[in-house]
Amino acid sequence: METLRQLRIPRSLRFSSFPASETEIQLHTFCDASTIAYGACTYLRCEYRGAVTVRLVAAKSRVAPVQQETVTRLELMAALLGVWIAKRYVFLQRKRTPNLQDWLWTDSDNVLYWLRSEATLYAPFISTKKEQILAASSATRWRHVPSELNPADDYSRGINAGELSAYHRSLAGPAFLCKEEKDWPQRRGGAVKEVC
């Protein structure tokens, strides 16, 4: 608790020096799951004349169900949690920023496959979650992030209070968001290629 008392988190999501009318605003939501919990976090990315800021908007974590689920199913539950968080903040932000872009990120290849697949014969659990996710988001808005770059990993696995600072990725977002979109993680020939 003493360590956390020292922690200072910026409350302003957009620098006052970034004029709203000239600032490009994006929402990025990351999802992840482990055998103990699943979580999602949303960041606001503001870019003005080459300067970029990334701020945590919201995060939520839930303990994995007592009835043992596979990690793949938990990843799907994390994606649904991420959509719920993103939907709320995209709706609020679109009132001020009509051309807002939003992206959803997961490190699960299975979740991406299910969301992009046109197949309909899935187990009821998977098909129900898939329908709920796609009712609130488009499959084209989902991107793959390598596990080691996924800030939601901290919400699903936990971190020590001593590791947490205002610059830690769980609060400041992944470093690649401060770069241009061409430098974000990309898929090349079916494999993920980190270009940062």
CATH code of 125's domain? 3.30.420.10
Place 191 in a pLDDT band, splitting at 50, 70 and 90.
Answer: very low
Residue 97 predicted with pLDDT over 60: yes
Chain centre to alpha carbon of residue 152: 7
> Which residue in 75, 105, 116 sits closest to 176, CA to CA?
105
Residue 188: inside a domain = yes
**Mean pLDDT of the residues in the chain:** 84
Per-residue model confidence (pLDDT) at position 12: 67
Full domain range(s) for residue 96: 20-193
What pTM, to 2 d.p., does this model score? 0.86
Model confidence pLDDT, tens digit, residues 118-153: 877 888 999 999 999 999 999 999 999 999 999 999
Residue 100: inside a domain = yes
Place 196 in a pLDDT band, splitting at 50, 70 and 90.
Answer: very low
Instruction: Provide the number of structural domains found in the chain.
Output: 1
Output b/e per residue, 93-113; b: 16+ Cβ within 10 A: beeebeebebbbbbbbeebbe
Residue 104: inside a domain = yes
Rounded Cα distance between 47 and 14, Å, is: 9
| % of residues, the chain, pLDDT over 70 | 85
Residue 13: inside a domain = no
Residue 7: inside a domain = no
Per-residue model confidence (pLDDT) at position 166: 67
Look up residue 12 and give its amino acid.
Answer: S
Residue 129: inside a domain = yes
Residue 1: inside a domain = no
Rounded Cα distance between 170 and 41, Å, is: 8
Residue 15: inside a domain = no
Residues 152/114, Cβ–Cβ less than 8 Å? no
Residues 186/68, Cβ–Cβ less than 8 Å? no
Rounded Cα distance between 126 and 33, Å, is: 16
